[in-house]
Amino acid sequence: MPIALFRPIRLVAFVMIAVFAGTAASRAGDDEPVRIDVGGFKLNSVLIEPGRAADLPPIVFLHGASTSLYDPMFSFRRLLQGRAKLLFVDRPGHGQSDFGGSENILPDGQADAIARLMHARGIRKAIIVGHSFGGAIAAALAVRHPEMVAGLVFLSPAVYPWKGGVAWYYNAASVPLTGNLFSTLIVPPMGLLAIDQATKSVFEPNNRPSNYLRETRAMQALRPRTFRRNAQEIAALSDWAEKASPAYRKIAKPTVIISGDADEVVSPEVHAKQLARNIKGARLIMIHNLGHKSDYVASDLAIAAIEHVAGKKTNLSAVAKITEKRIAGDGKG
Q: What is the mean pLDDT of residues 231-258?
A: 96
Q: What's the CA gap between 306 and 25, in Å, rounded?
A: 30
User: Per residue in 158-194, pLDDT tens?
Assistant: 999 998 766 545 555 566 766 666 445 444 446 544 5
Q: Quick one: pLDDT at residue 317?
A: 97
User: Per residue in 254-294, pLDDT tens?
Assistant: 999 999 999 999 999 999 999 999 999 999 999 999 999 99
Q: What is the mean pLDDT of the chain?
A: 85
Residue 12 in this model has a pLDDT that exceeds 80:
no
If DSSP codes are grouped into helix, strand and coil, which group holds residue 62? Answer: strand
Which strands sit side by side in the sheet containing 149-155, from one edge to the other? Answer: 34-37, 42-48, 86-89, 59-62, 126-131, 149-155, 255-260, 283-287
Q: Which domains does the chain have, with CATH numbers?
A: 8-327 (3.40.50.1820)
Q: What is the mean pLDDT of residues 299-312?
A: 98
Which one, of 135, 150, 190, lies nearest residue 11 by Cα? Answer: 190
Q: Quick one: pLDDT at residue 5?
A: 46
Q: Quick one: pLDDT at residue 189?
A: 45
Q: Quick one: pLDDT at residue 254?
A: 98
pLDDT band at 205 (very low <50, low <70, confident <90, very high): very high
Quote the percentage of the chain above a pLDDT of 70: 78
**Residue 176 phi, psi (nearest 5):** -60, 155
Which of 31-40, 73-82, 151-160, 193-202 is the least confident region?
193-202
Quote the percentage of the chain above a pLDDT of 90: 69
Q: What is the mean pLDDT of residues 110-138?
A: 98
Q: What is the mean pLDDT of residues 26-34?
A: 61
Between the alpha carbon of residue 93 and those of residues 40, 147, 172, the distances in Å are: 14, 26, 18
Residue 200 in this model has a pLDDT that exceeds 60:
yes
